[in-house]
């Protein structure tokens, strides 16, 4: 039998150290919210492939759709010979756009690729170079998306120089208020780049790697007004927040604010590589033919999976299910926060089933060391659990929305023991 230790030795010899893996386990198989490693050990999965598996591992309808597509063809390149699944997926997403008016969608492969192309579209549509994002943001690991990401270590360290005309505003979290953020934006317009040179403001409706901090509705409304006043595009990065995770198909819907473009990836295709941009048609059509695309962009297998994902979300009521799951997790965490035999936890937060909370010291300071110990202890208990945050002290829960009540309860029991 292949062991985790054997595979770890082979990995160290064959794979660069720059790609990190959170835990020394190697997957063998998975179903819904459960995963088994190569040694046969079972884990409850509270990571969901980093928010990719809202419909769970190997959802039967997703797998059936992919198998049926694989019997027909696996690749043509949409730029060579188009196919109906790409068009149908665009039609269905356009009909669900979180903004009024005609919409169009284009598909790529990774979340970073979607953000890169959103920048390209915004610059063509406005004739401007500037991009504004937020501290704590994570938008990807390509050069442009690294520049947009609001955290140096580990994402930017040693990789410069990065593309210019990218600026950051403090995100309202960790003591920063909405008023502070907007004042900093005014300073930015006065000192570094005038609003007439800004193509887009890009924001995660809930910061992912930055610590699961929801963007306050007041901030989103203010940004919409600023964008309207200065003809700037507002881009919602829904790579981690999209596809029912927060109780809405897109998290921006909670604020009632209409973006100009939405970037999508992760749970769009149930574990198959796919990303996209959903945007206002007049904006999306500004780029000339040939300016957008990619050899594997909008893979027919991934498009078939994504169509099945949308059906599952609608037919199984996963938006409502996210609220139910989130309420159960919150209730358990709130009870744990009152106990003195549990590591101190604070600031339980997040809409739907995108739940985060902080581990802190007795005096309320971020406890990075305890957070690392909790994720490792969780693994020993049979729970896959991830951390995040600018202070590396946030535990994030991204359990599949298809998880059974019994497995969810089991996972929360394991989390309780890990926090003990």
**Secondary structure (DSSP) of 25-48:** --EEEEEBTEEEETT--EEEESSH
pTM for the full predicted model: 0.96
Map tokens 């007049």 to a residue.
Answer: 282
Please give the pLDDT value at position 130.
98
- DSSP structural state of residue 145: H
Q: At what angle do helices 84-95 and 300-315 cross, to 10 degrees?
A: 40
Number of domain units in the chain: 2
Residue segments in the chain with a per-residue pLDDT below the cut of 70: none
Residues 254 and 292 both lie in one domain: yes
Residues 278 and 324 both lie in one domain: no
Q: How far apart are CA 216 and CA 173, in angstroms?
A: 10
Mapping DSSP to helix (H, G, I), strand (E, B) and coil, where does residue 394 land? strand
Residues 265 and 215 both lie in one domain: yes
Q: What is the pLDDT of residues 140-157, one digit of tens each?
A: 999 999 999 999 989 999
Q: How far apart are CA 283 and CA 74, in angstroms?
A: 31
Q: What is the pLDDT of residues 184-197, one digit of tens each?
A: 999 999 999 999 99
Residues 306 and 323 both lie in one domain: no
Residues 275 and 147 both lie in one domain: yes
Q: How far apart are CA 274 and CA 209, in angstroms?
A: 20
**Domain of 16, in residue numbers:** 4-58+317-419
CATH of the domain at 384: 3.90.1150.10
Residues 32 and 89 both lie in one domain: no
CA separation (Å) from 231 to 122, 199, 234, 260?
11, 8, 10, 11
Establish if 66 belongs to a structural domain: no
Residues 26 and 157 both lie in one domain: no
Q: Do 326 and 352 contact (CB within 8 A), yes or no?
A: yes
Q: How far apart are CA 226 and CA 14, in angstroms?
A: 50
Q: What is the pLDDT of residues 68-116, one digit of tens each?
A: 999 999 999 999 999 999 999 999 999 999 999 999 999 999 999 999 9
Q: Which of 50, 22, 20, 25 is nearest to 35 (CA)?
A: 25
Q: Which of 315, 341, 362 is the last residue of a domain?
A: 315
Residues 199 and 170 both lie in one domain: yes
Residues 15 and 106 both lie in one domain: no
Residues 8 and 29 both lie in one domain: yes
Q: At what angle do helices 60-70 and 300-315 cross, to 10 degrees?
A: 150
Please give the pLDDT value at position 406.
98
Residues 156 and 268 both lie in one domain: yes
Q: Which of 259, 285, 315 is the last residue of a domain?
A: 315
Residues 329 and 346 both lie in one domain: yes
């Amino acid at each position: 039998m292949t062991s985790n230790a054997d595979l770890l030795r082979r990995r160290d010899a064959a794979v660069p150290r720059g790609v990190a893996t959170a835990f020394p386990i190697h997957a063998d198989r998975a179903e819904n919210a459960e995963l088994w490693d190569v040694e046969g050990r079972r884990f409850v999965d509270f990571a969901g492939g980093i928010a990719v598996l809202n419909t769970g591992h190997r959802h039967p309808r997703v797998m059936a759709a992919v198998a049926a597509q694989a019997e027909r063809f696996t690749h043509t390149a949409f730029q060579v010979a188009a196919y109906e699944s790409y068009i149908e997926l665009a039609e269905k997403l356009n009909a669900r756009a979180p903004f009024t008016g005609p919409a169009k969608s284009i598909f790529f492969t990774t979340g970073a690729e979607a953000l890169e192309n959103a920048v390209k579209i915004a610059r063509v549509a406005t004739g401007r170079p500037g991009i504004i994002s937020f501290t704590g943001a994570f938008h990807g690991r390509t050069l442009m998306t690294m520049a947009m990401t609001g955290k140096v270590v580990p994402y930017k360290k040693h990789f410069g120089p990065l593309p210019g005309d990218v600026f950051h505003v403090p995100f309202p979290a960790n003591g920063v208020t909405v008023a502070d953020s907007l004042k900093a934006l005014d300073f930015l317009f006065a000192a570094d780049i005038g609003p007439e040179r800004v193509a887009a403001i890009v924001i995660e409706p809930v910061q992912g790697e930055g610590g699961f901090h929801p963007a306050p509705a007041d901030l989103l409304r203010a940004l919409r007004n600023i964008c309207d006043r200065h003809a700037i595009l507002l881009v919602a990065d829904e790579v981690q927040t999209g596809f029912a995770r927060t109780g809405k198909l897109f998290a921006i819907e909670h604020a009632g604010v209409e973006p100009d473009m939405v970037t999508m990836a992760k749970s769009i295709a149930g574990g198959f590589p796919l990303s996209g941009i959903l945007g206002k048609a007049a904006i999306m059509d500004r780029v000339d033919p040939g300016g957008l695309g990619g050899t594997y962009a909008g893979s027919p297998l991934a498009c078939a999976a994504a169509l099945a994902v949308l059906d599952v979300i609608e037919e199984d009521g996963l938006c409502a299910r996210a609220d139910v799951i989130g309420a159960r997790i919150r209730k358990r965490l709130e009870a744990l926060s009152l106990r003195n035999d549990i590591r101190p936890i604070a600031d339980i937060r997040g809409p739907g089933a995108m739940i985060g909370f902080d581990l802190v010291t007795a005096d309320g300071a971020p406890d990075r060391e305890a957070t690392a110990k909790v994720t490792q202890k969780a693994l020993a208990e049979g729970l896959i659990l991830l951390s995040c945050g600018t202070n590396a002290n946030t535990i994030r829960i991204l359990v599949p929305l298809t998880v059974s009540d019994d497995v969810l309860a089991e996972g929360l029991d394991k989390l309780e023991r890990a926090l003990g």
